[in-house]
Structure 1
Amino acid sequence: MGSLKVTLCAGAALAAICVPATAARAADGGGFSVTPAAPAPGSDVTLRVPDCTEKTAVAVSAAFVSDVRLSLTASDGALTGTSRVRTSMAAGVYAVQVTCGRSARKGTVTVGERRREGVGEGVGEADRPSGHASPVAPVDAGGGGAARLAAGDPGAAHTVTGLVLAGIAAVAVALRGVRSRSRGKD
């Protein structure tokens, strides 16, 4: 009966450590914004993700020429990044998924009609896409599982803590069993 108490206490300690992390992730369900709201094919877009506990995130959509690497901005603590809408995209709504740590936020981007040069009021040089939307920083590659640990992934820390606690509980149960058997022989 004593080993059952030790096991339950160890389980309760493990749950107390793991539950706050899960609750924090569940509360981190906010969305993201895309600027401009309805970009034309070939134009640059900026994604902004507030309330992400990570320092970086990735946004993926068929509408973008490449995955959007989002990073922390000093001004307001939101993650931001830029990309370009594919020039071949037709007007419509496209899915966007932002991966922030272990949570994923889903939303959409509405691609507007293709702009025609010189047609309509206010269309001209200023409306043309600027510069390159290709990556300007090194690409995170290789490293396998060690890359997440090196980046300070909080999920890895929780996993290690859980494994350590489970090991301690297993040792406590085993020692309690050995003590019970040795008392029974005396």
Structure 2
Amino acid sequence: MRSLPLTFCAAVAAATIALPASAALADSESDRKGSGSVSVSPSRVSPGGEVELRVDVCGKGKSARGNSEAFVSEARFAPADGKGLYAEARIRSDAAPDDYEIWVTCKDGHGRATGTVTVVHHSRPSPVAPVRAGGGGAATLAADRAATTASAERTGPGTEHAVIGLALGAVAAVAVALRSARRRRSALD
């Protein structure tokens, strides 16, 4: 008999504890529906670049508006493929490198979201020492050969080239003389 009152007291205690906990959960869910975060991709961008923004705080809302000091103009959100809303925004070309806050307000006014985009300046790195590329040192050999060829072209043909040219000319002259001698013999016969 003593177990019945004990069971009843335990049930009342559990209900007393569970009721405030469920009320707290309901409050936190309504807070989540009222505020959220903006997903920014890429989160780091150069001036003049574009970012994609996504929010899911507007519930069944069909549109939202977003703004930031880094944006050229206001971002207008529309329904995305899946869940939530989507927008694109262009970063001002004169935006200084810094973290900029993004504010999004749902059209019905019941939802708000915030996010951050980081503007960075990318400078193009220049190589300190160029890499010698090529087939295992072939670039160095090709450069040396090109320098040698360039100096030879500037000075013109040398003695070696003149002797070869004269020898070829002499062989051609002998061949022409022999051929004309054969033609004369065949014409006389």
TM-score tier (shorter): 0.3 to 0.5
TM-score scaled by structure 2?
Answer: 0.46
Q: Which has the higher contact order (CA 8 A, sep 6+)?
A: 1
**Larger Rg computed on CA atoms:** 2
Structure having the higher helix fraction is: 2
TM-score scaled by structure 1?
Answer: 0.47
